[in-house]
Amino acid sequence: MTRRSARPNLTVTLDGEDHRAYEGETILELARRVGVTIPTLCYLEGLSIYGGCRLCVVLTEGDHRLKPACATEVTGDLVVTTVNKEINEHRRRIVELLFAEGNHVCAFCVSSGSCELQDLATDHGVDHIHYDYEYPRNTVDASHPKYVLDRDRCVLCTRCVRVCDEIEGAHVWDVAQRGNEGRIVTGLDQPWGESDACTWCGKCVLVCPTGALSFKGRATGEMVHDPDVIAFLSRAREDQEWVDRKEPV
Ligand code: FES
């Protein structure tokens, strides 16, 4: 969550309705607070903002460029359109590109039914794609005793990188290479099972939006992600819920 003013002293219009907003609040935070849905993929409450997937784009009055709602702070008298034909088309094309880039074959994926990419495709009516499939030759890392990394399903949202660094403090994950060559790696690009830094906490698996990270031995239907746990952990830490405030006797 971004730092914000103590009082909501700004007026921001979302899809024709005025709302009171805090200085420092992002468009996405405001939208969620007032019940307006903006699709996201890389964003996760409790983690730093990456702004890489561009699923959350919106339009602001006076600017023809699409902006990521998760990475754009509100300003006074801002007028925002969170959904229209153009925005929807843009989002749909992004989902299509993600499917074209990877090997997302839902019928053979352990996370089918617990996959944010699958949900986005359904929500945006993606029943076919307009691009050629790239069929990349990715690798699977099953060297860890408890978890599996299937790079065919990875959308490079970096949630695993951020949660491991910012919440667990282990920094096992990173992104190697760039562009089409980009891929998630553990340690210094060694097998996951050989990473001494991994604490086996499983947070990376819980926050993964697709089937890229899964618990070993689970079947489709059993493999459920739980990204909301990070917002809970992060709020509890901010509120110091685990600090014993009792006076010593
Ligand atoms: S959710 Fe905003 S850019 Fe990914």
57 touches ligand 1 (CB under 6 Å): no
Q: Any residues with CB less than 8 A from the CB of 27 and at least 6 apart, and which?
A: 12, 14, 38, 58, 67, 69, 70, 72, 73, 74, 78, 80, 82
Q: Any residues with CB less than 8 A from the CB of 190 and at least 6 apart, and which?
A: none
Q: Which residue has the tokens 């290479």?
A: 177
* CA 56 to ligand 1: nearest atom: 2
Taking the C-alpha atoms of residue 1 and residue 173, their distance in angstroms, rounded to an integer, is: 22
* CA 69 to ligand 1: nearest atom: 2
The lowest-confidence range among 93-102, 211-220, 236-245 is: 236-245
Q: Within 10 Å of residue 147's Cβ, how many Cβ atoms? A: 20
End-to-end Cα separation, the chain, in angstroms: 37
42 closest CA partner among 163, 182, 169? 163
Supply φ then ψ for residue 85, to 5 degrees.
-60, -45
Distance in Å, CA 31 to ligand 1 centroid: 14
pLDDT value at residue 75: 94
pTM of the complete model: 0.92
Taking the C-alpha atoms of residue 210 and residue 105, their distance in angstroms, rounded to an integer, is: 11
44 touches ligand 1 (CB under 6 Å): no
Mutate to test the pocket of ligand 1, among 58, 70, 73, 82 (most ligand atoms within 8 A of CB): 70
Sign of CA dihedral 121, 124, 128, 129: negative
The alpha carbon torsion through 47, 50, 56, 60 (nearest 10 deg) reads: 110
58 touches ligand 1 (CB under 6 Å): no
Computed over every residue of the chain, the mean pLDDT equals 93
Residue type, 9: N
Q: Within 10 Å of residue 240's Cβ, how many Cβ atoms? A: 9
Taking the C-alpha atoms of residue 230 and residue 201, their distance in angstroms, rounded to an integer, is: 12
**Per-residue model confidence as pLDDT tens digits over 5-40:** 788 889 999 999 999 999 999 999 999 999 999 999
**Per-residue model confidence as pLDDT tens digits over 152-202:** 999 999 999 999 999 999 999 999 998 888 999 999 999 999 999 999 999
118 touches ligand 1 (CB under 6 Å): no
pLDDT value at residue 241: 82
Q: Any residues with CB less than 8 A from the CB of 161 and at least 6 apart, and which?
A: 173, 174, 175, 184
**Per-residue model confidence as pLDDT tens digits over 212-226:** 999 999 988 888 899
Distance in Å, CA 70 to ligand 1 centroid: 6
H or E element, residue 119: helix 116-123
